[in-house]
Amino acid sequence: MKNKTALALLFLIVFLLTECSVRQENDRRLMEADLLMQSRPDSALRILQGIPMGELATRDDSAYYALLLTQARDKNFVIQKDDSLISYAVAYYNKIGDSRMQAKAHYYRGCVYRDMNLCGKAIMEYLIAIPLAKETGEMRLLGIAYNHTGYLYYLQGLTEEAASIYRLNEKIAIQLKDTSLWIDALTYQGKINTQKGMSCYPEAEEKLLKAFDMAGLLRHKRAQANIAASLSSLYSYMERKEEAVRYAKLNLLLRKDTVRCYKTFFLLGDAYFQNGKYDSAVIYLNKSLAGGGYGTKANTCMRLAEIARMQGESDKALTLMDKYALYSDSLHATQQSEEILNAEKNVAKQQYMNAMQHNKEKQQKWITASAILFCLVIIGCMILYKHYKRTRCLEQKQSYLRQEQQTLQEKYRQAKKELYNMDAIITSLRQEINQQQAEKEKARQLQEELDILQKKRNALVKETFDHSKLFAKIERIINSYKTYDKSDEQLSEEDWECLIVETDVRCNSIITRLNSQYKLSKTEIHLCCLLLTDFPIANLVYIIQLTRNSIYRKEKEIKKKIGCPPETGRLRDFLENY
């Protein structure tokens, strides 16, 4: 019994490991196919065909596989007549709300409907994919979705809608630098302008020739052949017959299949008809009549009927006109422009419903936001109340500081008076030194006494400034910025004038001397005054309203202006010794 249990357990472990290994291998192959999709779509298709869908363990893997396989078939020009595979991917990605994958899934379902000749359904899928591609920034997917949408509009005779789409697509092609996409946009704009009539022929010619040259640079013969065909038709309408024949021949020359290119035969036959070469025209028109679509056959019958009428074959002309009417009726029966317009209405209705749902969600978010805002207002009121209490406390402190400031101002006045008296003594001593130059010893003693008094004077000047209203105001501004990152006070013009006077008093009229000799600007004078105080550079930014880097830059400008030697360090050192 124990042996059987152990064997069953071992079998289960081996089974789980095998399943895990298979799943990892399938995931790796799916990723590899996705990476090869743009550069080597044939290899991607072979990899995907080698993965049995039954081995895919999750719905996510199955949807991814369905999308990649549809994409690979489309890129390898495999005509797809069954939408069940891609519809599985569309349903899954719509359910999980992955916008990027939704855009790709809807686009490729549109490609499948295009292969099934269901133009209305194809347009509806492209119109769903376009806003999703815009939303997710998938510009390449947006460009090719526009390209296919424009082509179906053009094919069904909705030329104005097609022209609008191709103008948008041209902008995207330029933005992506995608030459192939740009060629398509220019080509179909040229075709549409050809259909609009004579006034649009120059613009049509310009766009078609530009597209032809670009296709030539890429050596894209198929695109060149299609553009040459459009140019041949345009020149036929413009009655430039030789050019119409030249581009019709070039169209035939650039085709790989020269047996079943029935529209090419018609264009060449029509060009020969315009030139009056009816025998050559009949040869190519009869080749064109052997196959092709209803539109080509109808146009061919019309041309052959005209040639028969000119050659006097009335019965043949009537027979050909009957065929022309039959092919024209068949062509109209295949038109699906009404289905395309209905598809547009359905997409617009769905977008309106989505917008209504979005508005409902937006309203719910607004209600939630309002409730949060109300709570924030309550919290804000509580914070403001605490701020009010703190402000009251601060006002009381400021009242105490004002009283202290008054005391300091009294000391300032006393120091100012002492300074005045000391300046008078210094002046008297200097006069006495001048009078006693002959008596060197006395002069030396007087000079030493003068130096001592000068030092005392400088200390008194500093103390006077430190107890001044201006110094107190500067300190208040700095402290306010440090505490609140702002200040209600700034130095006025009168304060700056006072600072200049104080600096001249302290530093032997340095500002007056500098300004008279070098004509400094107001900002430069203010900076020199502040540098001669004891405040650090970090605090000066609050006073002069310059950043620290701007102060250093301004220092260099002043040093250059006043001719400081290169070995001079900071400007402050130079000013103190000036």
Q: How confident is the prediction along the chain (578 residues), in pLDDT tens digits per residue? A: 555 565 555 555 544 444 445 556 778 888 888 898 888 889 988 988 888 877 787 888 888 998 899 989 988 988 898 899 899 999 999 999 888 999 999 999 999 998 888 888 888 898 999 999 988 888 988 888 888 898 888 878 888 888 888 888 889 889 988 888 888 888 889 888 888 888 888 998 898 899 889 888 888 888 888 888 888 888 888 888 788 888 877 877 777 766 556 666 666 667 766 666 777 667 767 777 666 666 677 777 777 777 777 777 766 666 766 665 666 666 555 555 555 555 554 554 454 344 445 445 566 777 777 788 888 888 888 888 888 877 777 777 777 777 777 777 777 777 777 777 777 787 777 777 777 665 677 767 777 777 787 777 777 777 777 778 888 888 888 888 888 888 888 888 888 888 888 888 878 788 888 888 888 888 888 888 888 887 888 888 888 888 888 888 888 888 888 888 766 677 777 777 77
C-alpha to C-alpha distance for 51 and 36, rounded to whole angstroms: 16
| Cβ–Cβ < 8 Å for 506, 490 | no
Q: For 234-277, how does the pLDDT look when each residue is reduced to its tens digit (9 = 90+)?
A: 888 888 878 888 887 787 777 776 655 666 666 666 776 666 67
Distance CA 1, CA 26 (A): 38
What letter does residue 509 receive in the DSSP assignment?
Answer: S
The rounded distance, in Å, linking the Cα atoms of 486 and 480 is: 6
For the record, the structure tokens of 343 come out as 């598809």
- What is d(CA 154, CA 83) in angstroms, rounded to the nearest whole number? 24
Residues in the chain: 578
∠ at Cα 337 (331, 341), nearest 5°? Answer: 170
> How many Å apart are CA 199 and CA 203, to the nearest integer?
9
Q: Are 122 and 111 in contact (CB under 8 A)?
A: yes
Residue 93: its pLDDT value, please? 92
Q: Which residues, 6 or more positions from 437, have their beta carbon under 8 angstroms from its beta carbon?
A: 443
Helix (H, G, I), strand (E, B) or coil at 323: helix
3-state SS track over 122-157: HHHHHHHHHHHHHHHCCHHHHHHHHHHHHHHHHHCC
Determine the Cα angle at 301 with ends 299 and 305, to 5°. 120
Q: Taking the mean position of all CA atoms in its chain, how far away is CA 164?
A: 23
Q: Going by C-beta distance under 8 Å and a sequence separation of 6 or more, which residues neighbour residue 447?
A: 433
| CB of 162 closer than 8 Å to CB of 179 | no
As a whole number of angstroms, the distance between CA 520 and CA 576 comes to 17
Residue with tokens 């509806």: 124
